[in-house]
Each structure stands twice: as C-alpha cells, then as structure tokens.
C-alpha cells in the first residue's frame, strides 16, 4: 500500500513540473523584471520604480489602451447583436440549419493570418470589394485601413466576422434552454415579440452574454496578428494593440524590463475589467 | 421566407470571401482585381511562384510535426492528471485543482516575455522544443478529462484492478475508449490552436527551416517578399487554410461542439 500512495503524485507530476516552469516562474519573474532594465545580453540592472514611472508617462501605453477600448466599443455590441440575431433566425429554422451553422463557423476555425490577408483585399482602397460596392451605388470610397480614425474600427468589424460563428452557437445553446412554456404563457397574456424577447429571452441568456463580453475583452487585449499584418500598428499608431506594443518593446528595442512591465499592467487591467463586468452582470440578474 | 433570405445573405457573406480567395489564387495577376467566383484565366503560376519564393513545404511539415507531437503529449499528460483528480484521493488534490483554475484565468500578456527569456536561457530558441514544450500541458484539457473520468462507473476501474491492471493501463486501455468524444474534443482544440498559432512562433523562431506555416505566411505578407505579388500572398493563405478546412469538412459537428464547450467553460 505504501507504494500506491505515490501513484497520484506520479500522475500529476508532469503537470506540476509544467506549471512550475511555464506558469509559476514566469509570473514571479515578470514581477522581478518590472524593477530592472535588461536587454537579455548584458547583466540585469536594478532601476527601482523607473519602469512604472515611465509607463504612466508613456503616450504609446495609453494609446494602446485607448485603441483597445475603441476596438471593444465596436466589437462587443456588434458581436452580441449579430450573433443573437443569427441565433434567433437559426433557432426557428429546421431545414438547412446545419448548413448555415457550418457556414457561419468557417472563419472561426481558420487562422487569423488567413482572415487578415483576406480582409486586407476586401478593404483595399482601389480594388477592394467594399469600396467597389460603395462606388457602384455612387458613394465615395472609404480609406478603411489608411485613415487613423477608421482603421481600428475596420479591424473590429473583421474580428467580429471571424468570431461571431462561435457566439451564434453559444447563443443557440442558451436559447434552447429557455422552456417553451414561458413563451406560451406570455402568448396567453398577449405579450408582444419584443416583450417576450426583453423579459424572457434576454434574462435567460444573460450568462451567455457575459461569456461573450469576457471572451471579447480578453480577445481585444490579445489582438496582435491582425494589426501586425494589416497596418503594422499604423496609421499614426491608431491600431497599435496591447500585445503589439509589448512585442515591439521586447523584440524591436530589447527593453525586456519595460516590456514585462507593460505585460504585467495589461494583465492586471484585463483581470480588473473582467471582474467589473462580472459584478455588473450579477447586479443585472 | 424572409428568414431564409436573411440567413442566405449571412451565409454568403461568410462563404464568399473564401471562395473568392481560392479562385483568386488560381487566377492570373490581371484576374485578381475581379470579384468573380471562378478563376480568371486559370493558372497554377501563383502556386509555382510561391513554392519558389518561400519554403512552404518545409513549413508545412514543421507545422504537422509540432501539432501532432504536442497534441499527443497533451492527451497523455492530460489524461493522467485528469484521472488522478477525478478518481484518486490524495493530499494537495484541491490545491492542484485551484492551480489549474488560476492558470486558466491568467492573461497571457504577463507570461509572454518571461517565457521567451526561459526559452533563451534553456537554449531552445530556434528549436522544436520552443514550439512544443510550452503547450504540452493544457488546463482546459485536464478539466475536460477530469469531468469525463468522473462520469465513468467505479465498477469499470475495480474490475480492471482485480485483473491486475496498473493505473496507466486502466487509464489508457480501459477508460480512454469509453470517453472518445472527450478525446476527440481535446484533439481538435489542441490541434487547431497549434496549427493557427502565429504569435509564439514569431517570438521564438528566427531560423527559416524551423518556422511553422502561419509564421512563414505572416512574415511573407508583412515583409516585402511578396513584392506586391498579391496572387502569391493569397495562394499562401489558401495553403495555410486548406488542411484545417479539410479536417473541418470531415469533423464539422465535432469542431463546433468542441469549440462551444471550450467557450462555455469560462
């Protein structure tokens, strides 16, 4: 029996080792790094709170946060509205439902690299599909990716197109948990479609909405490959994302300490925002 | 009727760009500006040019190697840990469970730079180790295995023990065949995640022969090597999308169910 006692520890040993190397150490080391200047090659130099001071004065740090917020302001509502609308349409459809589901889901499984290259063509100024549609109805062309006031919103729409299929499925699962009797009872009371949606459907799918909000927020702060390929953070840093800025500081300038400080603060920000969202949603219920 | 019209419009907006991408990649340079669904002046030249410009064949093999090896290791290590958490009592079990939850809520922004430094110090930069080792254990897959193992009857395990099976044989020979849907879910999620991952390879791989497909295609699109040859860039995107789309055609329902289960976990 003595030998048996060690079996569970043997089974979880790979996990513990992996956790120590790839989770525990990086978390601790990232805090250490925030107090140092380091280019990886020369020895680490302790600089106290300099990285923190620099961070709060760093225009690009605030710009990255501002850009992320601009992304989320479009991305989150658009995602919820489109996903909910498509899920509602699918929920009542029987014939062909699996085809539509599969079509909506296609961009979800494909690499963001592919989607970005594709949308770069759709959003092209001269030959892009969108501008051709606009000129066809004699509207002026839009500089989707070259106008600093528009570029981030274009990326937000693209990201919605890529992810929305997943949320359609999540909403469908949510909609199917609403008992049919609720609607029947509402019908007897003479409720309108909007009332049924507002007072029955919406409260029941609130947890799904929360999931969409949280996943989208994390996604917004993790945005990288889309601006990296499409705009390289431009024009005028208007699409510089949090992860892109971390990447630039670390791998273009080799400011490992400062880059870790950025990562640390963005992580805190994400956790903070998600906690606020959770509190807000719980209050709503 | 209106409902079908709307759904069809929506489906077209998701499918048309992909169809355009494939036909554009098979068109000549002057056909690229058209919006048709069929290739204009059909030619393979974009693909021929692509293979002569970038080592995409090698990158494909790298991607396959990394995705297959890592997925295999995720399944083995995840099943072991999930089984211990689900069916064994030992001190520290709850602690491990909390560590897994902690890992899942931890934003990757905080670990990105320290993990890169670890790779440098371990001498793993520009090796397959850097692409594989950070991903061989995955919190979500442990939780999914734990849940699946908890749902199995104890009699199955007891009978195997009476037959003298060791714990590893119980896990992999007796129990795993009973939870194949979970195995498939974890396989799909892990494989797809690795196949599409571009950020981490961009950080740890500088050496072209070790690059995976998403990384190579990204660098090709950003760096000037496409030399404004749009057709070649689109052909590269098609090559990157093709394997996962083919898998999706075969395992469509499983893909959707797997992704939905990962979304609902949070």
Q: CA of B246 to nearest chain A CA: how many angstroms apart?
A: 11
B50 — pLDDT class (breaks 50, 70, 90): confident
Q: Cis link prior to A235 (omega < 30° from 0)? A: yes
Residue A146 counted as domain residue = no
pLDDT (tens digit, 9 = 90+) per residue, A127-138? 888 888 899 898
Residue A135 counted as domain residue = no
Residue B116's domain comprises 56-265
What does the radius of gyration of chain A's CA atoms come to, in whole angstroms?
24
Structure tokens at B228: 């404004």
What's the structural domain count of chain A? 1
Instruction: Say whether residue B246 is in contact with chain A using an 8 A CB cutoff.
Output: no
What's the structural domain count of chain B? 2
Would residue B88 be called left, alpha or beta, if left means φ above 0 and alpha means ψ between -120 and 50 degrees? beta
Which pLDDT score, from 0 to 100, does residue A1 have? 47
Residue B16 class from Cβ within 10 Å (0-12 exposed, 13-18 middle, 19+ buried)?
middle
B264 — pLDDT class (breaks 50, 70, 90): low
Give contacts of B214 with chain A, Cβ < 8 Å: 111, 113
Give contacts of A101 with chain B, Cβ < 8 Å: 256
pLDDT (tens digit, 9 = 90+) per residue, B105-129? 999 999 999 999 999 999 999 999 9
Q: Which residues of chain A have pLDDT under 70?
A: 1-3, 284-285
Residue A23 counted as domain residue = no
Tell me: do B73 and B7 sit in the same domain.
Answer: no
Q: How far apart are CA B100 and CA B104, in angstroms?
A: 6
Of B35, B192, B198, the CB nearest to A132: B35
Q: Among A3, A11, A216, A263, which would you mutate to test the B interface (most chain B Cβ atoms within 10 Å of its Cβ)? A: A11
User: Looking at the predicted structure, is the pLDDT value of residue B227 above 70?
Assistant: no
- Taking a C-beta distance cutoff of 8 angstroms, is the pair A109, B15 a contact? no
Residue A248's domain comprises 52-122+151-284
Tell me: do B129 and B260 sit in the same domain.
Answer: yes
CATH of the domain at B248: 1.10.3720.10
Looking at per-residue pLDDT, the higher value among B226 and A160 belongs to: A160
3-class SS string, chain A: CCCHHHHHHHHHHHHHHHHHHHHHHHHHHHHHHCCEECCCCCCCEECCCHHHHHHHHCHHHHHHHHHHHHHHHHHHHHHHHHHHHHHHHHHCCCCCHHHHHHHHHHHHHCCHHHHHHHHHHHCCCCCCHHHHHHHHCCCCCCCCCCCCCCHHHHHHHHHHHHHHHHHHHHHHHHHHCCCHHHHHHHHHCCCCHHHHHHHHHHHHCHHHHHHHHHHHHHHHHCCCHHHHHHCCCCCCCCCCCHHHHHHHHHHCCCCHHHHHHHHHHHHHHHHHHHHHHHHHHHHHC
> Between the CA of residue A84 and those of A87, A99, A162, A216, B177, what are the distances in Å?
5, 18, 15, 15, 37
Beta bridge partners of A45: A37
pLDDT (tens digit, 9 = 90+) per residue, A135-190? 989 899 999 999 999 999 999 999 999 999 999 999 998 888 888 888 888 888 88
Residue A214 counted as domain residue = yes
pLDDT (tens digit, 9 = 90+) per residue, B175-191? 999 999 999 999 999 99
Residue A19 counted as domain residue = no
Whole-number percent of chain B with pLDDT over 90:
72
Which pLDDT score, from 0 to 100, does residue A184 have? 86
Which pLDDT score, from 0 to 100, does residue A176 have? 85
Taking an 8 Å cut-off on Cβ atoms, the answer to whether B110 and A264 are in contact is yes
Which pLDDT score, from 0 to 100, does residue A97 have? 87
**Of the candidate ranges A110-124, B7-21, B33-47, B137-151, the one whose mean pLDDT is the lowest:** B33-47
Residue A138 counted as domain residue = no
Of B14, B85, B137, the CB nearest to A107: B14
Which pLDDT score, from 0 to 100, does residue B266 have? 43
Residue B48 counted as domain residue = no
Which pLDDT score, from 0 to 100, does residue A229 have? 92
Instruction: Say whether residue B145 is in contact with chain A using an 8 A CB cutoff.
Output: no
Tell me: do B73 and B29 sit in the same domain.
Answer: no
Residue A45 counted as domain residue = no
Residue A9 counted as domain residue = no
Residue B50 counted as domain residue = no
CATH of the domain at A75: 1.10.3720.10
Q: CA of A6 to nearest chain B CA: how many angstroms apart?
A: 9
Tell me: do B101 and B150 sit in the same domain.
Answer: yes
User: Looking at the predicted structure, is the pLDDT value of residue B202 above 80?
Assistant: yes
Q: How many CB pairs under 8 A join A and B?
A: 242
């Amino acid at each position: 029996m003595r030998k048996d006692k060690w079996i569970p520890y043997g089974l979880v040993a790979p996990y513990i080792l992996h956790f120590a190397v790839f989770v525990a150490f990086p978390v601790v080391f990232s805090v250490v790094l925030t107090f140092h200047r380091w280019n990886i090659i020369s020895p680490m130099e302790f600089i106290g709170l300099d990285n923190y001071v620099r961070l709060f004065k760093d225009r690009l740090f605030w710009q990255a946060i501002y850009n992320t917020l601009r992304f989320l302001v479009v991305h989150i509502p658009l995602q919820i509205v489109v996903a909910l609308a498509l899920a509602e349409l699918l929920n009542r459809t029987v014939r062909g439902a699996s085809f539509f589901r599969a079509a909506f889901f296609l961009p979800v499984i494909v690499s963001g690299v592919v989607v970005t290259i594709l949308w770069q063509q759709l959003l092209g100024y001269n030959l892009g599909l969108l501008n051709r549609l606009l000129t066809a109805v004699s509207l002026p062309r839009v500089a989707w990716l070259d106008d600093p006031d528009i570029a981030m919103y274009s990326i937000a729409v693209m990201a919605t197109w890529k992810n929305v299929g997943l949320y359609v499925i999540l909403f469908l699962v949510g909609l199917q948990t609403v008992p049919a009797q609720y609607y029947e009872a509402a019908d007897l009371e003479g409720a309108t479609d909007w009332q049924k949606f507002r007072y029955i459907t919406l409260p029941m799918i609130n947890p799904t909405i929360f999931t969409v909000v949280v996943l989208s927020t994390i996604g917004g702060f993790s945005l990288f490959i889309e601006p990296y390929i499409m705009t390289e953070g431009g024009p005028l840093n208007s699409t510089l994302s949090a992860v892109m800025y971390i990447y630039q500081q670390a791998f273009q300038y080799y400011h490992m300490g400062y880059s870790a400080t950025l990562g640390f603060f963005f992580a805190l920000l994400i956790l903070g925002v998600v906690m606020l969202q959770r509190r807000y949603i719980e209050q709503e219920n | 009727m209106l409902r079908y019209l709307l759904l069809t419009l929506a489906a077209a907006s998701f499918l048309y760009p992909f169809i355009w991408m494939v036909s554009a990649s098979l068109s000549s340079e002057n056909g690229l500006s058209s919006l048709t669904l069929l290739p204009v002046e059909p030619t393979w030249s974009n693909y021929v040019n692509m293979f002569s410009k970038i080592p995409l064949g090698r990158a494909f093999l790298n991607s396959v190697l990394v995705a297959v090896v890592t997925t295999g290791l995720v399944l083995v290590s995840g099943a072991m840990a999930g089984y211990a958490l689900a069916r064994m009592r030992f001190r520290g079990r709850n602690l491990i469970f909390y560590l897994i939850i902690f890992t899942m809520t931890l934003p990757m922004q905080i670990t990105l730079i320290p993990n890169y430094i670890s790779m440098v110090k371990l001498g793993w930069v520009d090796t397959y180790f850097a692409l594989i080792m950070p991903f061989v254990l995955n919190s979500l897959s442990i939780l999914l295995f734990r849940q699946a193992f908890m749902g199995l009857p104890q009699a199955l395990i007891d009978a195997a023990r009476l037959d003298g099976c060791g714990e590893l044989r119980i896990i992999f020979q007796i129990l795993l065949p009973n939870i194949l849907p979970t195995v498939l879910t974890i396989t799909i999620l892990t494989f797809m995640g690795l196949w599409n991952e571009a950020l981490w390879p961009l950080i740890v791989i500088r050496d072209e022969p070790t690059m995976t497909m998403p990384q190579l295609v990204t660098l090709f699109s950003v760096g000037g090597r496409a030399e404004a040859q749009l057709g070649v860039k689109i052909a590269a995107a098609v090559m990157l999308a093709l394997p996962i789309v083919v898998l999706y055609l075969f395992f469509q329902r499983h893909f959707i169910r797997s992704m939905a289960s990962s979304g609902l976990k949070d």
